Amino acid sequence: MPAILLDTVFNPWDELQSYQEKHLQAGRYGATATFVGTMRDFNIDDSVSHMTLEHYPAMTQNFLDKLCAQSREKFALDDCLIIHRYGDIKPNEPIVLTVAWSAHRAQAFDACRYLMEELKARAPFWKKEITAGGERWVHDELRSSEK
Amino acid sequence: MSIEVQFFASLRESLGKQQVTLGYSDGLDVQAVWQQASDGAAMPDNTLCAINMEYVKTETPVNDGDEVAFFPPVTGG
């Protein structure tokens, strides 16, 4: 149940398959719920050429590790996985992958959503977007349109 | 006898500093650490605070050797 922070482009489907083959026991899980967050090329009516994702490395790792452990217990998961980018990111590149494996679909769906909502609400990452008008931090006002 | 203070994202840019080391004294809380580390700047209303990588409130006491961090609302995912 790792949380992995990467500063390079990753393929979420390859990562999911690789982790599942290495760490999940075939026949034990019946549901796999997945979320992939991808960078858009627009936000608040502006074109965004790229962004930089800053984080607080030790706290981010600590928070996401605990979130994985807590979610595994809360939803009786077989396992879960979080991969999150940091650094420079271009449109269409994956930013985040969350995966929840469980015996039945309800726990997997609920856990996958919980992982993402907790991550977005509390994991210490900060997006800075680069637009034609310059750089801007994606603060509270901008977040209201992200859901 | 010291405290490491870190600022992130827009707070780092507005204060013009990323890391500050303060001397420790009895009775310090997070608000007092901000005042010293920011040279008296007003703390933005939406500032989040952490001690040793756990979220805390501004009135939380700070101990010798702690790492205190200040940052704006998070926007990951």
Mean pLDDT of A11-24: 97
Q: Report residue B34 CA to chain centroid gap.
A: 5
3-state secondary structure chain A: CCEEEECCCCCHHHHHHHHHHHHCCCCCCCEEEEEEEECCCEECCEEEEEEEEEECHHHHHHHHHHHHHHHHHHCCCCEEEEEEECEEECCCCEEEEEEEEECCHHHHHHHHHHHHHHHHHHCCEEEEEEECCEEEECCHHHHCCCC
Helix (H/G/I), strand (E/B), else coil: B23: strand
Phi, psi angles (nearest 5°) of residue B73: -50, 145
| Residue-level pLDDT at A141 | 56
pLDDT digits (tens, 9 = 90+) for B3-33: 999 999 999 999 999 999 999 999 999 999 9
Please tell me the least confidently modeled range out of A4-18, A43-57, A119-133, B61-75: A43-57
Q: How far apart are CA A99 and CA A86, in angstroms?
A: 19
Helix (H/G/I), strand (E/B), else coil: B16: coil
- Asked if residue A147 has pLDDT above 60, the reply is no
3-state secondary structure A17-54: HHHHHHHCCCCCCCEEEEEEEECCCEECCEEEEEEEEE
Contact residues, chain B, for A95 at CB < 8 Å: 76-77
| Residue-level pLDDT at A144 | 47
List chain B domain ranges.
Answer: 2-71
| Cβ contact A108:A20 at 8 Å | no
Please tell me the least confidently modeled range out of A38-42, A103-107, A113-117: A38-42
Phi, psi angles (nearest 5°) of residue B33: -65, -45
The distance of B14 to chain A (nearest Cα, Å) reads: 12
Mean pLDDT of A68-92: 97
- Asked if residue A61 has pLDDT above 50, the reply is yes
Model confidence band, residue A145 (pLDDT cutoffs 50, 70, 90): low
Mean of all residue pLDDT scores within chain B: 97
Q: How far apart are CA A147 and CA B12, in angstroms?
A: 27
Contact residues, chain B, for A113 at CB < 8 Å: none
Looking at this predicted complex, what is its ipTM?
0.94
The H or E element spanning position B35 is: helix B30-37
Structure tokens of B43?
A: 């703390």
Q: Is A127 on the interface with B (CB under 8 A)?
A: yes
Q: How far apart are CA B47 and CA A142, in angstroms?
A: 16
Across the strands, what pairs with A81? A99
Query: What is the topology classification, in CATH, of domain B2-71?
Result: Ubiquitin-like (UB roll) (3.10.20)
A59 closest CB neighbour out of B10, B46, B50: B50
Query: What is the topology classification, in CATH, of domain A3-138?
Result: Aldehyde Oxidoreductase; domain 3 (3.90.1170)
List chain A domain ranges.
Answer: 3-138
- Asked if residue B62 has pLDDT above 50, the reply is yes
